[in-house]
Amino acid sequence: MHVVEGLARGIKPSADIGAVQPQVLLAYYGLLMLVTLRPLRLSLHSVRAWLSRKAACPALTGLLAVATILVWSANLMLPDGKLHVAFLDVGQGDAALVRTPAGHRVLVDGGPSPAALLSALGRRLPFWDRRIDIVLVSHAHDDHLRGLLSVLERYQVRQVLMSDIKSTSPLYAEWERALAQRGVPVLHVEQPLQVDLGDGPKMMVLPPPKIAALEDPLEASLVARLSWDRVSFLFTGDLEADGLLPLTQTDQALSCTVLKVPHHGSKAAVSKGLLLIVDPELAVISVGADNRFGHPSAETVALLEDAGARVLRTDQVGSVEVDTDGQRYSVRTTRNR
């Protein structure tokens, strides 16, 4: 087995690639306002006269409130020394955003709706820093890939990780053209790849079994395990229990604290044997409400609960966000759609 380490060493914090810090942004807008007002030739006397008016206090209060909200929102989006993993509510599809203590960002899949994905990202990433360090595409199904086309248009994507098993779908061809047009580096994962995300967290990306058929993208899903000390996350794409079990027989650990349940909780998503090995505390099912596939399967939910996992579904609770310091973790849910 060949393990590639340090892929993310070329990833630098936002300040190193020209990102605008919130303090600089506010100063810029303040200067812009002064320049805009300059033609009015405001004098000290006119400023005092304006301030003495009754309407001045509400106006100033409003400006201060907007500035406070901007600064508060900006600080919430800055790295805080924790690992944040958000399983995004994007309907009947998969998308997860990882933000690391070092400030790196990894997007795993993009869901079926560009609008839903961009909205979810916009609430979690600062508007002045449109950077995503790594996009990991598990496989070429529309409900994992389509939303990523809009990400290429809106964000600066620094690296894409994909399976070496290609698809013949028109969407996949469009995706490859978009990558080539923008010059985004692409690495096709053919063997286990370790990505050092800095300051502790690491992600192991595992290629699908070589028996995966081109006609069945489900079996061609990449699997990724993100770990930091005692807390770990397993991203399975749509690779169901029969495809995951062979990976458990390798020297790569698949046990996890948080499991992204395969294939939206389909009937074949998990098995007793798989859950004995993976042993998750939290199971997240990314699924759309009233979907035509009947996901998630009641049998799958029962298996997960019998195994002792807490089950959260995005169609019921919205996005599921897990924050951790590597020792403990907390979970919160947000409904925004």
Question: Helix (H, G, I), strand (E, B), or coil: what is residue 242?
Answer: helix
**Judgement on whether residues 310 and 275 belong to the same structural domain of the protein:** yes
pLDDT of residue 19: 46
For the chain, give the number of residues: 337
According to DSSP, residue 112 is labeled S
* 279 in a structural domain: yes
Tens digits of per-residue pLDDT, 215-232? 555 678 999 999 999 999
**Judgement on whether residues 251 and 309 belong to the same structural domain of the protein:** yes
Across residues 247-273, what is the average pLDDT? 94
Across residues 162-190, what is the average pLDDT? 94
Domains contained in the chain, number: 2
**Judgement on whether residues 316 and 192 belong to the same structural domain of the protein:** yes
* 192 in a structural domain: yes
From 52, 77, 102, give the residue that closes a domain.
Answer: 77
**Judgement on whether residues 62 and 135 belong to the same structural domain of the protein:** no
* 1 in a structural domain: no
* 7 in a structural domain: no
Instruction: Provide, rounded to the nearest whole percent, the portion of the chain with pLDDT above 70.
Output: 74
pLDDT of residue 208: 80
Look at residue 77 and tell me whether its pLDDT is greater than 80. Answer: no
Residues spanned by the domain of 253 = 79-334
* 93 in a structural domain: yes
**Judgement on whether residues 97 and 112 belong to the same structural domain of the protein:** yes
**Judgement on whether residues 46 and 90 belong to the same structural domain of the protein:** no
Give the separation between CA 333 and CA 320, rounded to whole angstroms. Answer: 5
From 77, 98, 124, give the residue that closes a domain.
Answer: 77
* 6 in a structural domain: no
133, amino acid identity: D
Give the separation between CA 113 and CA 118, rounded to whole angstroms. Answer: 9
105, amino acid identity: R
pLDDT of residue 27: 53
pLDDT of residue 218: 63
**Judgement on whether residues 306 and 321 belong to the same structural domain of the protein:** yes
* 4 in a structural domain: no
pLDDT of residue 155: 98
**Judgement on whether residues 160 and 51 belong to the same structural domain of the protein:** no
**Judgement on whether residues 70 and 84 belong to the same structural domain of the protein:** no
Across residues 75-84, what is the average pLDDT? 75
Torsion of CA 61, 121, 318, 297, to 10 degrees: 180
Look at residue 198 and tell me whether its pLDDT is greater than 60. Answer: yes
pLDDT of residue 274: 97
* 194 in a structural domain: yes
**Judgement on whether residues 242 and 322 belong to the same structural domain of the protein:** yes
Cis ω on the peptide bond leading into residue 296 (within 30° of 0)?
yes
Across residues 197-214, what is the average pLDDT? 82
- The CATH code of the domain that includes 107 is 3.60.15.10
pLDDT of residue 96: 98
The token duo for 145 is 């890939």
Closest CA to 315 of 302, 293, 305, 330: 293
Tens digits of per-residue pLDDT, 288-298? 999 999 999 99
From 77, 111, 143, give the residue that closes a domain.
Answer: 77
**Judgement on whether residues 188 and 64 belong to the same structural domain of the protein:** no
Termini Cα distance of the chain: 43
Look at residue 148 and tell me whether its pLDDT is greater than 60. Answer: yes
At 162, phi and psi to the nearest 5?
-140, 165
Query: To 5 degrees, how large is the angle CA 162–CA 88–CA 134?
Result: 30
User: Please, are residues 295 and 283 in contact by the beta-carbon 8 Å criterion?
Assistant: no
Across residues 147-170, what is the average pLDDT? 94
Mean pLDDT score of the chain: 84
Q: CA distances (Å), 149 to each of 84, 165, 251, in order?
A: 24, 19, 35
Give the separation between CA 151 and CA 135, rounded to whole angstroms. Answer: 9
226, amino acid identity: L
The token duo for 217 is 């993208």
**Judgement on whether residues 62 and 117 belong to the same structural domain of the protein:** no
Tens digits of per-residue pLDDT, 53-64? 655 566 555 555
Across residues 276-301, what is the average pLDDT? 97
Look at residue 14 and tell me whether its pLDDT is greater than 50. Answer: no
